[in-house]
Structure 1
């Protein structure tokens, strides 16, 4: 993809000209209702699709904002829902409960992700089988797990996400696309030994991967609202403007590399 803004002007010129369409999409998995958010440029024709997986708070405005940012770059983006309709937390206790319910049964988590994958892959504005995924916090762990189990993703991008593997001990990941991890050196939730272990794991798997560690970043460094939330709940959360902009630009560069040059609609 060659439609690009500089890191310092991500939301200015293009928003004024792009014909961005957004839709709230309700879908079901095993009889349970989920709420997703689709964003795309209606004038752009078929484009690669990007799945956005939310933080542990649930499918909220932040995940939708990222989907719109991707649409402004010419992608068809779908912010999926891993918890279920209405399950959005405003307190860490609720967020932890929602997250634990999903991670306790990985087959359920995988099915929820794969349902969203199919929904995006079959959309009229998505190039078939040209799908990547990106996730934040809990969502970063989700996209890395889906990459490990061989989901046909062109790329999987994790921002301040869990790096620990949920595969059975001794099982080698089956990674089919590029992996990019962004993490903070001062994030107590993602200690250095996890970064080292992940690097070794990906190296041994022969994966196409990169890990970017920001020296001064803590958890949730991409979310402008993180600092206030961290202070409110006494958690190690804080926004880092440099890490946010740099990780976003690197992500766009990665998508340029893994996706084909778009054709004229």
Structure 2
């Protein structure tokens, strides 16, 4: 499958581009970015071509991987789907329900496959854990803590300069990760309450279709000493904690490339497709 990469920022540089360049079944056709000089530098590092015109890149590929701010991503994803290109997208799909729905509708109308890169759903260890927990019944409650220090401490995170993260905060940046773990295990959300904490911290209380309740604490302003990710599920089968992080985002993104290729080949939607990402967006918008 011939892939074009849209975006040149830290996430494109650290995950998308190296995964596309290393994948044995992907042809890394080229890069387009809003900053041509950054596109040229990224393309040179990975032995591919920089495109000055996004439509020229779309004409040369079978699929696009998008590493851009969510609302920029949504607009270009609709454009790529209309051109018949499969979609490998990032979370959040968009920051409004309307924009996210346009992506899901465009993919469905064009008959293209879509996969949204919720990282833990594509890391082998965490994905296996989620699948195993989803196969169990009798869940009573769960908690998910996603505490980052992007906007605290030394401020040396490559994502600290991201305007959309500063504007939308942890709810939209790490909230999708928490929901991507809770929903497949406990079911869709029927009730949601949100309350603010210090900085950009948000506390969510969720009621799920399976009858269980869950909580999520989300922050990008936690002290570095308090940062970390933890998920704990409790039910009749016992207490289960999410395993530690896997081999890293490049390997996980390679698995997402495999997932998109398989969805395109078979026509079977992936569980993390644009429609799932739309539901996540609806819940985040409700919490906001």
TM bracket (short chain):
0.3 to 0.5
Structure 1 or 2, whichever has the larger Rg, is 2
Q: TM-score by structure 2 length?
A: 0.36
Which TM-score applies when normalising by structure 1? Answer: 0.39
Q: Which has the higher helix share?
A: 2
The answer to which structure, 1 or 2, has the higher relative contact order (CA under 8 A, 6+ apart) is: 2
